[in-house]
Amino acid sequence: MKKWFITALAAIAFAPVCMSGKTASATAEGLTSCKAAYLCDYESGICAYSENETERRPIASMCKIMTLLLCFEAAESGELSFDEQIAVGENAAGMGGSQVFLGSGLSYPAEQLMKSIAVCSANDSCVAMAERIAGSESLFVEKMNARAKELGAENTLFANCTGLPKDPQYSCAKDVALMLRELLTHQKYFEFSKVWLEDFVHPDGRTTTMTNTNKLIRFYEGCDGGKTGFTNEAGFCLAATAKRGDTRLLAVVIGADSSENRFQSVKNLFQYAFSAYESRKIVEAGKPLETKLCIRGGKQKEISVCPADDLTLFCKRGEEVNASTRFTLAEGTKAPLQAGADVGEIVLFRDGVEAGRCKLLAAESVEKLSYGDAFREIAGKW
């Protein structure tokens, strides 16, 4: 069994900076013309702007963020496969609103249905996937609400998987950002969300053209995902993500009075954050640490270790932060050892609070010391 020891690295000399939503709002007034808004960093979840962010409001089709999340989780857990043929019943095929006009009695690949939800907000595909995963839409909604609680979405209640008007049903800008942040952990989602225009081909030969409802995908640099929503009750809504350099942002607006204003409001939020904030790289993936890992029974006595991922801090440009790192290494690691093997962990702290962590990997391979090698080593000391 491996033993572990902890070594603290030197603190990185930056002074603290406040990052609360209220602080950001004080210098960024008038960014939106919506009833609620929320802007945060993807990696840390730190809020950069907020406006009525916990007020419970209808969110229309943005609830499909949770629908998609459960679909991806079912696929990645092995509960269903992306190429599985999903049989469409009359209930799903008869859905109104935005749709791809699924044929009752026909079967479609799960991946195709999920893509239509992400691209053109297809209600019929939502219900077809819900019925496949949970047996019925009502049972799927129970899963949606349970997952929302697990994520800490305290001001969210779903009544269906489409976001069509039905009481009681609500969420808030902060919770929508929380759900989108979780959805973005599934990299395959971006294969769907970045599609601008694509034909949906039905098994009976029909074709439905899908156009992405999120116009920022095409017209805002760095935007590669998100979900729109509209009902008379909810107004115009949008949750979107954009990445530039090392910084990925999430922005949510609820209750805009026009489609144009929701897109402009999110663009304003992105522009503000990309201009005022940065993701400062504190730990660099692949860069060896000064400290070495001791190896038992190897041709080398010690090797370098390096972080598996970058660790960054979201902060205002030009302002300083109080950052430090701490790492753990596996004591008594034995040869043979392959480069890239997991040999520990590094943790990043901000003002003494954990801000991120990643694995430490062996930077080089070590062969086991043979009897001949051992003999020569001993002989060399005589």
Q: Strands, DSSP E only, in the chain? A: 3-8, 36-41, 47-51, 85-87, 107-109, 197-201, 207-211, 223-231, 235-244, 247-256, 277-283, 292-296, 302-307, 311-316, 323-331, 333-334, 342-350, 353-362
Does the annotation mark 61 as catalytic? yes
DSSP reduced 3-state for 355: strand
Catalytic residue among 25, 61, 116, 193: 61
d(CA 267, CA 281): 25
Is there a catalytic annotation at residue 275?
no
Q: Does the active-site annotation cover 64?
A: yes
Antiparallel, parallel or unpaired: β 235-244 and 247-256? antiparallel
Dihedral angle of Cα 29, 33, 38, 43, to the nearest 10 degrees:
-80
Catalytic entry in 35, 64, 227, 267: 64
Distance CA 246, CA 364 (A): 27
Q: Which two three-digit tokens encode residue 158?
A: 């779903």
Q: Which residue has the tokens 């939020």?
A: 269
Instruction: Give the separation between CA 183 and CA 204, rounded to whole angstroms.
Output: 32
- Out of 121, 171, 193, 279, pick the active-site residue: 121
Nearest to 304 by CA among 347, 368, 345, 364: 364
> Would you please indicate which residues are annotated as catalytic (active-site) residues?
61, 64, 121
